[in-house]
Amino acid sequence: MALTLLWWYFSYCRDDAVVISGRKLARQIRQEARHEVEQWVAAGNKRPHLSVVLVGENPASHSYVLNKTKAAADVGISSETILKPASITEEELLDLISKLNNDANVDGLLVQLPLPGE
């Protein structure tokens, strides 16, 4: 809804400069997402679940993943982070991704980039 209102506002105010509060807009989007997840679960559906695969020890990647899992929790989405060593083979990683893709409990999958060696 916030995005729809924002689009509508911009379509009628193209000649005027508009200051947008990114924090306020982000808060509105999070509230809407939280509400939609609550409605989804209240209707008898399972809570959405995000699986994150994190390979190696890149501090920036760890920080990014932590922020994603916090954001998921903030809107009512459960999540897990699967840590794998930088020594994982391509075949092992592809097998893990395939397993997660076929897991009925997983609704979203994030493989954090960059992978070691990229």
Of 28, 31, 68, 78, which residue is the catalytic one? 68
pLDDT at residue 20 in the model: 84
Q: What is the pLDDT along the chain (118 residues), one digit of tens a residue?
A: 566 655 656 666 666 777 888 899 999 999 999 999 999 999 999 999 999 999 999 999 999 999 999 999 999 999 999 999 999 999 999 999 999 999 999 999 999 999 988 6
**Whether 46 is catalytic:** no
**Whether 112 is catalytic:** yes
Name the β-bridge partners of 67: none
pLDDT at residue 16 in the model: 72
What is the pTM (predicted TM-score) of this model? 0.80
Please state, in angstroms and rounded to a whole number, the distance separating the CA atoms of residues 118 and 112.
12
Of 24, 28, 39, 61, which residue is the catalytic one? 61
Please state, in angstroms and rounded to a whole number, the distance separating the CA atoms of residues 92 and 80.
19
**Whether 61 is catalytic:** yes
CATH fold of 46-118, please?
Rossmann fold (3.40.50)
What are the sequence ranges of the domains in the chain?
Answer: 1-45, 46-118
